[in-house]
Amino acid sequence: MIINSSNSNTKREYGYSNTPFGLCCISFKDEAIDSFNFVSSTSDYNMNENYSSKQNLYINNKKAKELVSQIFESNKAPDIILKGTPFQIQVWNELSSIPRATTTTYGKIAKAIGQAKSARAVANAIGANPIALLIPCHRVIRSDGSLGGYKWGVNLKRDILQWELDNTKII
């Protein structure tokens, strides 16, 4: 479930956990994830530097590991909290409708949200996605079929797409 807003006074927790693709740092409030980033080490991504409200920020690696386990080992993804402009949220909601192990293009996303001539703006919104994997920006490719960019590198994008293909059950 996507939650579009949250109370900024709520206690925010964050933590680090391993994934099939390396280490990640996630932040969450009351079981809902609001940030998921791949990192090279625990010192690579400092939550205190990435959030303006530091007074309610606490580390909880145990909960982070539970949420990451839920993402990769169950069919039920955790809830997510989206914070962005109305246009970004519209794009991110559209990304969430892309089936696992499939891809689409920036232009098709633009057309799907009724902004057919806004592929570049869509690409910018996709690049600003704060929640890797759960808002599947890795499933968007260029119209020529090439993978295009990815915040954490095109090799990781390729690996995630292959992992989804290998781990999608055909019924």
Across the 171 residues of the chain, what is the mean pLDDT of every consecutive 10-residue run? Answer: 57 93 94 93 64 71 95 85 95 95 95 94 95 94 92 95 84 46
Burial of 54 (0-12, 13-18, 19+ CB in 10 A): exposed
Please, where are the H alpha helices in 20-153?
Answer: 47-50, 61-73, 86-95, 106-112, 119-127
Among residues 137, 140, 160, 161, which one is catalytic? Answer: 137
Do residues 48 and 57 lie in contact, with contact meaning Cβ atoms separated by under 8 Å?
A: yes
Task: Give the model's pLDDT for residue 143.
Answer: 92
Do residues 88 and 125 lie in contact, with contact meaning Cβ atoms separated by under 8 Å?
A: yes
Class of domain 84-166: mainly alpha
Task: Give the model's pLDDT for residue 9.
Answer: 58
For the chain, give every residue range classified as CATH 3.30.160.
2-80
Residue 137 falls in the annotated catalytic set = yes
Determine the straight-line distance between the first and last CA of the chain, rounded to whole angstroms.
24
Task: Give the model's pLDDT for residue 69.
Answer: 93
The two counts, helices (H) then strands (E), for the chain are 6, 8
Q: CB 46: neighbour CB atoms within 10 A?
A: 12
Do residues 91 and 136 lie in contact, with contact meaning Cβ atoms separated by under 8 Å?
A: no
Protein fold of 2-80: Double Stranded RNA Binding Domain (3.30.160)
For the chain, give every residue range classified as CATH 1.10.10.10.
84-166
* pTM of this structure: 0.86
Do residues 26 and 51 lie in contact, with contact meaning Cβ atoms separated by under 8 Å?
A: no
